[in-house]
Amino acid sequence: MQWRDKFVAQDGRVVDNGQNGISHSEGQAYGLLLAQAFGDRPTFERIEAWTRRTLANRQDALMSWAWDPSQAQHILDWHNATDGDLFRAWALLRASRVTGWSIDLSVTEAICRDVVTLCLAPDPRTPDALLLLPGAEARHDEAGVLVNPSYYHPRALRELGTAFGMPELSQAAAHGERLLHELASIGPVPDWIEVTTEGFAPPRDHLLRSSYDALRVPLYLAWSGLGDHAAVVEMRAAMRRATLPGHVAVAFDKDGTPLSESNEPGFRAIVTLASGGIPDIEGQDIANQPYYSATLHLLCAIARNERHN
């Protein structure tokens, strides 16, 4: 597998060559998902072993976000990223329930329990609805709740909630779908947004923009069988506004005007998936792409195979 050979070190560390060779929790989780989907148990076990040994060093069951081999203190950021934790838990669950591998699901359950306890917060507009926080220490106060819309994968949240009897995860998925619909009615889904009692506001600690994070929104919704969701329609239209032949837009102004374009196959695969097509990985040089595009490319192919499951 080209992706494994280029991006997974022998010890199981997934290397992001687009971020100076660091490793991060979502990269490890994506690696687990890919290894499970392609039936590569040795790689799955290597990735999970490195993850437990290196990133599972918090007092809870969540992972530190970033690790850098070039620094004396390898952990760059001990805060967790909730999407990485959810995808790791989902990959472990899938490995057990779908692939039939022997997996210690007590770890998976502990991750989910801590996501429920530490990474969900009431929506200031409707306190009985739950928002997915980007991390356990992420800001949520009277002024607003910080949200990364691309952390929502409705199918993953629902399957984990059902598997471990945690309805809060399914509730967060349902509210996330509504949130994404609201955001799409305004324009391209932003990378970060603040949810306040009045509605939406620019995030206090991030730029208000739609770019590489938000590109995952149509992928995750289509993977969840929600290909007609308003956020898929909006992001698909925005990505199609590229002006260069063979390119798609990958960053947008708030009105949808393209700010950056790319011809990387992985980004183009998102538009193909969002259009109901079949992302092609046969004959594609996955290893010739940067880590992020290559990873999204393979995830799109898996999503296409599973979108109606």
Q: Which residues pair with 248 in a beta bridge?
A: 262
- Environment class of residue 11 by beta-carbon count within 10 Å: exposed (0-12), middle (13-18) or buried (19+)? exposed
pLDDT of the residue at 246:
95
Are 304 and 278 within 8 A, CB to CB? yes
pLDDT at 134: 98
Report the candidate in 275, 297, 295, 228 with the shortest Cα–Cα distance to residue 83.
Answer: 295
| Amino acid identity at 276 | G
Instruction: Give ∠ CA 39-228-262 in degrees, rounded to 5.
Output: 70
Cα R_g (the chain), whole angstroms: 18
Distance, CA of 146 to CA of 131 (rounded, Å): 9
Q: What is the pTM of this model?
A: 0.97
pLDDT at 308: 56
For residue 309, what pLDDT is reported? 52
From start to end of 152-197, where are the E strands? 193-196
What is the predicted pLDDT for the residue at 300?
97
The residue written with tokens 């009985």 in the block is 128
Q: CA 175, 86, 117, 52: dihedral to nearest 10 degrees?
A: -170
Q: Per-block average pLDDT, block size 10, for the chain (309 residues)?
A: 94 96 98 98 98 97 96 91 99 98 97 99 96 95 94 99 99 99 98 97 94 99 98 98 97 92 97 93 83 97 82
How many helices and strands (H and E) does the chain possess? 11, 11
Distances (CA, A) of 25 to 10, 28, 156, 180, 220: 17, 5, 16, 24, 18
Going by C-alpha positions, the residue among 211, 172, 82, 89 that lies closest to residue 135 is 82
pLDDT at 104: 94
pLDDT score for 44: 99
Residue 282 confidence (pLDDT): 76
Q: Name the strand (E) or helix (H) holding 69.
A: none
